[in-house]
Amino acid sequence: MAEFDPEQFEDKYANYFAELQRAYKQAFDTMNDTYDSELVHAIDQQILSESEPFYEGEGQFRVELPEDPTERLSSVIANDERVESLLDRYVEEIEAELRTVFGFE
């Protein structure tokens, strides 16, 4: 992989698509191995598919979620607290994988 360039990340899907896919896939695998796979799949497909990663500087990434993420889940039954907790953990995992994939960890 080429050295990470924050300016290139502004057009992330053109410049870093493979790396983004790898980070999201590795986060999914970790979450799926650890938590309720049905809920992890639903979050992945119905919420995180519409998420947007941003580079914040100094090796930190932020994943922005779509509006009202818990209301997007339609294929599983889970209370909002459980969904929010798992979603928060999943976002942390994606951000960690982004740091790893781009060589900050």
Distance CA 44, CA 35 (A): 13
The structural domains of the chain, with segments of one domain joined by +, span 6-101
**What tens digit of pLDDT does each residue of 5-35 get?**
999 999 999 999 999 999 999 999 999 999 9
CA separation for the pair 105, 83 (Å, rounded): 28
Helices (H), 1-105: 6-9, 12-15, 17-34, 37-46, 80-101
Percent of the chain with pLDDT over 90: 79
Q: What phi and psi, each to the nearest 5 degrees, are found at residue 59?
A: 75, 15
Residue 65 · residue 47 · CB < 8 Å: yes
Question: pTM for the complete prediction?
Answer: 0.91
